[in-house]
Amino acid sequence: MLVSIYRYNSEKDNVPYMEDVNVDIPEGKDLMVLDVLHLLKAEDSSVTYRRSCREGVCGSDGLNMNGKNGLACITPLSEVVKKDKLVLRPLPGLPVIRDLVVDMSMFYKQYEKIKPFLVNDTPPPAIERLQSPEEREKLDGLYECILCACCSTACPSFWWNPDKFIGPSGLLQAYRFLADSRDTSTAERLADLDDPFSVFRCRGIMNCVSVCPKGLNPTKAIGHIRGMLMQRST
Amino acid sequence: MVASVTSLGRNGLYDWLIQRVTAVILASYTVFLLGYLVLSPDLTFAQWSGLFGHTAMRIFSLLALLSIGAHAWVGLWTISTDYIKPAGIRVCFQAACGVVMFAYVVWGVEILWGL
Ligand code: SF4
């Protein structure tokens, strides 16, 4: 199989380039893309990428594989390879540090903006703040996000305004805390989001939904935030 | 909260809502006009100017005209903030759009109300 991989080393290269490598895939096995990267690295140890858990839990190996973002560790070759060719690029829209490794600061800055923690000024109970099963259920489809950035880096609105638009991942998390019965700062959270960029730059393109490796739906969460903003101000 | 002084309502929800409401107005105006044209095959000038002389039609037309102005402002403002990165050029583009839209609205009013 032909693997075309994005290479860039700021100490050696003036501009990034694509390197074509032929990789022998063992017969009768459906490897994951991450396994292919391991095979590449065995041949050329300078190939650089992030990885950690290798089972879709840590969110480190988000990549653009044949044009679509996803986690290399849980994407089988049978799903992405077309015409015996695999093109590997870093997540689009973020500055490249080296090869497939991108600088995620902008992504984390947006995450930080939505205050990703519970705010509650009432005195804490002796053991824990309880939720009813129904209240807890509201967090399903939200808390599972692993911050892999596949969605935000697939979003054209995030590409154009990564400093102002929170992006699908951050907004999914914003809604996760808006929907939490234990959080008491709903009003402040909504006030922080009510400008023309933070939420409303979402144009419903839904790339986020199509790439999320955890099967989450940021567009739906954004719709809920819009609904809450509407309820608050009309 | 991201500050923004050149958007129509300076508030995300307001711009969003304006965009939707004006879209509905523009769609109904277009459908109404097309329907009128289809349903009156031998339309005379007297009929046509009579339609626009009607107060209800004047209100509807003015509403559509203002809707176009607002709808275009929100839309072009959004496009300019997506694609035009240098602030100077962006502000000039937004100002030019504003002037053009204002001119069209005034011109439209003049045509409709025959001032
Ligand atoms: S919503 Fe999905 S794609 Fe986006 S960061 Fe979370 S897990 Fe990754």
In the numeric block, which tokens belong to residue A220? 């739906």
Interface with B, mutate which of A195, A199, A234 (most B CBs under 10 A): A195
pLDDT band at A28 (very low <50, low <70, confident <90, very high): confident
CB neighbours of A20 closer than 8 A, spacing ≥ 6?
A2, A3, A4
Pairing of strands A62-65, A68-71: antiparallel
What is the per-residue pLDDT for B2? 81
The stretch A85-104 carries a mean pLDDT of 97
- Each residue's pLDDT tens digit, A115-148: 999 999 999 999 999 999 999 999 999 999 999 9
Considering chain B, what percentage of its residues have pLDDT values greater than 90? 74
Placement of tokens 């396994």 in the chain: A35
CA dihedral B20, B24, B26, B31 (to 10 degrees): 150
Containing A22, the helix (H) or strand (E) segment is strand A17-22
In the numeric block, which tokens belong to residue B5? 């002084």
Across the A:B interface, residue pairs with CB atoms under 8 Å apart total 50
The stretch A70-82 carries a mean pLDDT of 96
Q: How far apart are CA B22 and CA B24, in angstroms?
A: 5
Q: What are phi and psi of A22, to 5 degrees?
A: -90, 125
Q: How many CA atoms lie within 13 A of A212 on its CB side?
A: 20
Per-residue pLDDT at B107 exceeds 70: yes
Per-residue pLDDT at A102 exceeds 60: yes
What is the per-residue pLDDT for B115? 54
Question: Residues with beta carbon inside 6 Å of ligand 1?
Answer: A 145-151, 168-169, 172, 212, 214, 216, 218
CA dihedral A124, A129, A135, A140 (to 10 degrees): 110
pLDDT band at A58 (very low <50, low <70, confident <90, very high): very high
Cβ distance A196 to B82 less than 8 Å, yes or no, reads: no
Q: For residue A123, what are the β-bridge partners?
A: none
Look up the pTM and report it.
0.91
Contacts of A199 in chain B (CB under 8 A): 12
CATH class of this structure's domain B12-113: mainly alpha
pLDDT band at A112 (very low <50, low <70, confident <90, very high): very high
What is the per-residue pLDDT for B10? 75
Does B7 contact A at CB distance below 8 Å? yes
ipTM passes above 0.95: no
pLDDT band at B114 (very low <50, low <70, confident <90, very high): confident
Q: How far apart are CA B78 and CA B18, in angstroms?
A: 13
Interface with A, mutate which of B4, B8, B82 (most A CBs under 10 A): B82
Does B12 contact A at CB distance below 8 Å? yes
Cβ distance B13 to A161 less than 8 Å, yes or no, reads: no
- For chain B, what are the domain ranges? 12-113
The stretch A175-190 carries a mean pLDDT of 96
- Each residue's pLDDT tens digit, B39-86: 988 889 999 989 988 999 999 999 999 999 999 999 999 999 999 999
